[in-house]
Amino acid sequence: MTAPARTDAPLGTAGPARPASWQVQAEVQDFYARQMRLLDEGRAEEWAETFTEDGVFAQNVKPEPWRGRAEIAARMRVGLDRLAARPVTRRHWLGMLIVDEGEEPGTWRCRFYALVFEVPDGGDPRPHLSAPGEDLLVRGEDGRLRIRHRLVEHDGAV
């Protein structure tokens, strides 16, 4: 299945509110808490497993989206290795979550704010990045949620 061409769509347009069931909302919250933690623990490959095989990760600060789980894993591995060489800890917070039913059954449109804090060894935490995002989540045949398309827009990018 082709990933929808959402990269050009502006984030944040409210769109029709079709809130997912409360069970799905809780499941999505749990999904993100585990997903973000993988990133902060340097587990690029396990983190990439939370995307579909043909998943897309687009960012407004990158000229091209990352396409497919293999590319997503490889590129995140480079970023995390580079980060691991610095004496800092990063913490990804995701909040202000809105989970709407997607157009296809078994899909969800999830909008969120993300904040990344960086803590230098021996120093105080400081906000490193604010970035709203929007995911298209799908449920696989194994019952697990995965990201088919993610768009993250760094605030303040010029």
7-26 burial by CB neighbour count: b if 16+ within 10 A, else e?
eeeeeeeeeeeeebeeebbe
On whether the CB atoms of residues 117 and 127 are closer than 8 A, the answer is yes
Number of residues that bind its own copies (CB under 8 A): 51
Distance CA 53, CA 39 (A): 18
Of 45, 101, 107, 132, the one binding its own copies by CB under 8 A: 132
Of 43, 75, 77, 139, the one binding its own copies by CB under 8 A: 43
Please tell me whether residue 97 binds its own copies under the rule CB under 8 A: yes
Choose one: 30-38, 48-56, 69-77, 135-143; the region binding its own copies (CB under 8 A): 30-38
Please enumerate in sequence order all residues whose Cβ is within 8 A of that of 119, keeping only pairs 6 or more positions apart, or say none. Answer: 88, 89, 90, 91, 125, 126
Please enumerate in sequence order all residues whose Cβ is within 8 A of that of 138, keeping only pairs 6 or more positions apart, or say none. Answer: 52, 102, 106, 107, 108, 145, 146, 148
Distance CA 4, CA 71 (A): 18
Please tell me whether residue 4 binds its own copies under the rule CB under 8 A: no
Please tell me whether residue 142 binds its own copies under the rule CB under 8 A: no
Q: Read off the amino acid at residue 143.
A: G
Minimum distance, C-beta of residue 116 to its own copies, in the bound complex (Å): 9
Minimum distance, C-beta of residue 19 to its own copies, in the bound complex (Å): 5
Of 5, 9, 61, 96, the one binding its own copies by CB under 8 A: 96
* Residues of the shown chain interacting with its own copies in the complex, contacts defined by CB under 8 A: 12, 14, 17, 19, 22-23, 25-27, 29-30, 32-34, 36-38, 40-41, 43, 46, 89, 91-99, 111, 113, 115, 117, 119-130, 132, 155-156, 158
